[in-house]
Every structure is written in structure tokens, then in C-alpha cells.
Amino acid sequence: MSTSAVISNVSTEQTAANAANSAKPNSPALSPLYGDEAEMMPYRALSRSAVVSVVLAVVSLLGYLFEPMLVVALAGLVMGLIALQAIRRYPLEYTGRGVALFGAVLSGLIFVSGAAMHTYIYFTELPEDHIRLSFSKLQPDYINEPERAFPASALELNGKKVFVKGYTHKFIAQMGKVDHFILVPDLGECCFGDKQTKPTHMIEVKVTDPRYKVKYALRRLKLAGEFTASEVPDQSLGVGTVYYHLKANKIE
């Protein structure tokens, strides 16, 4: 057989091999599942509780500023644990263990550290020789003293040094820094809505030290000073009836 004939036969075999290879289906290495095998693979959904846990953990960061928001961290911890339990019980239906674990751990850390921080602040913030006062103690007792506009216990605080927390009333919003304003108990009456503030939800504040003038803001203030409760209402600031007054010598 001549050399040209051998070369011709090899070329013919190579062409036939290439044609046979092109007729084969895709290599199993590139697509490992076919037909019934692919249909048998279960679909695993991301646990909604896991996602909610992470969202609540992020929102609960506000707990470092506002104590009540730490409840959101506790809810995030619970949702994370629920998600972990569901994923463990139904591993073929749910996925997201890492997400749930992250949400639960972050929520737990925020709750514990936030609670510890606020506890420490509570026990160290009260100035010496001052009485801690909250707006809840200044509300009328309609059961035992239905005829009184405010509780008699408020009169017992006259002339006493008190420590109280609250927010500036929005009527000073356009006034810049002031030394005369109204203190209210929460953000609802501080900043939102147009409802008339209740008299027992207001303390008229006069700042005795110019260094402690305040400007309207959403942050909570801490005030120390001399408290007075008057049975003769005052309406000098034009925000309604005021029974409580404070000469503040320190504001944070």
C-alpha cells in the first residue's frame, strides 16, 4: 500500500470519529443530571423566619438609643431560633441556616449589650441629692383623687431637686437655641401630630445657665433642677395649660 493511501485511510477514520463524537449528547461532567434525576431534586425555600430575624436585628440597633426598641432584638432572636428549628426538622424543604444563625446571634448580642448599657446608665446618671422623676408620676389619679387636675404627690416635690427626661416641644422648632421651652414625655407629643398636649404631659423649663440653652431636636434630654407644681395654671407660652415648672441648672 502506498504512503498516500495510508494517509487517506487515516484521514477518513478521523473524520468518522469526529462525526461520531458530535452526535453524542453533552458530556455528563458538564450536565450531571438528566431527565427523572433532575425532576427528583427537591426545591428548598429560604426560610422567611431567617430573613425576618436579620431584618429585626438591624432595626433593633435603634435600641442603643431608645430602650423600648430592645424588644425588637428579642423578637429577632426568637425568629432566628424558630427558623433554625424549622430548617433542622425539614432539611429538604428549607434552607438559610447561616442566615438564621446570623440573625439570632446578632439579635441576642444587641439585646444583651443594649440592656447592660441602659442599666449602667440608669444607675449612674442620677445626680447626687436629686430625685428621679418621670412623667408617669405626674399624671392625675382619677380613682383616688378624681377632683384633682394632677396628683397631690406632685405638690410634695415643690422646691425639690429632680432629675427628669423628655423631649422639647415642637413650638420652638424655628427659634434656634432657647432657654425657655416645654418638656414633653415622648416623641409623639414632641414632634408628630397636631393634638393638644395634655397639661400633665408638659413641664415648663427655664434654663438658669446660658451654657445649657437647647435647640429643637428629636433627641431625648436629661435635665436636673428645682421642680415646682402650681395649682394655678400658667398659659404664658401659648401651648396650653401648664402646672409643672422646672428651673434647670444642667441639661444633657
Quick one: 184 and 211 in the same domain? yes
- Same domain for 159 and 78: no
Same-domain status, 150 and 203 = yes
Over residues 61-77, the pLDDT tens digits come to 999 998 999 999 999 99
Do 146 and 208 belong together in one domain? yes
Residue 16 included in any domain = no
- Are 212 and 181 contained in the same domain? yes
| The predicted structure's pLDDT at residue 4 | 46
Residue 36 placed within a domain: no
Does a structural domain hold residue 10? Answer: no
- For residues 92 and 201, membership in a common domain is answered with no
The answer on pLDDT for 195 being more than 80 is no
Is pLDDT of 26 > 60? no
Is 3 a residue whose pLDDT tops 70?
Answer: no
pLDDT in tens, 129-173: 999 999 999 999 999 998 999 999 999 999 999 999 999 988 888
Q: Are residues 244 and 185 in the same domain?
A: yes
pLDDT at 194: 56
pLDDT of residue 238: 74
pLDDT tens per residue, range 196-230:
788 999 999 999 999 999 998 888 999 999 999 99
Q: What percent of the chain has pLDDT over 70?
A: 80
pLDDT higher than threshold 60 for residue 174: yes
| Residue that terminates a domain, selected from 124, 147, 170 | 124
| Per-residue model confidence (pLDDT) at position 204 | 95
Examine the domain organization and report whether 183 and 202 are in the same domain.
Answer: yes
What's the domain count of the chain? 2
Is 71 inside a domain boundary? yes
Residue 194 lies in a domain: yes
- Of 72, 70, 67, the C-alpha closest to 122 is 67
Final residue belonging to a domain, choices 90, 124, 158:
124
CB 219 within 8 A of CB 200: no
Range with top average pLDDT, 6-10, 95-99, 167-171: 95-99
Q: Are residues 143 and 169 in the same domain?
A: yes
182, 246: one domain: yes
Q: Are residues 177 and 227 in the same domain?
A: yes
Domain stops at, among 108, 124, 140: 124
Residue 40 domain-assigned?
A: no
Which CATH number belongs to the domain containing residue 185 in this structure? 2.40.50.870
Mean pLDDT for the stretch of residues 38-43: 60
The answer as to whether 15 is a domain residue is no
The reply to whether 137 and 245 lie within a common domain is yes
Instruction: Answer yes or no: is pLDDT of 20 > 50.
Output: no
Range of the domain at 67: 45-124
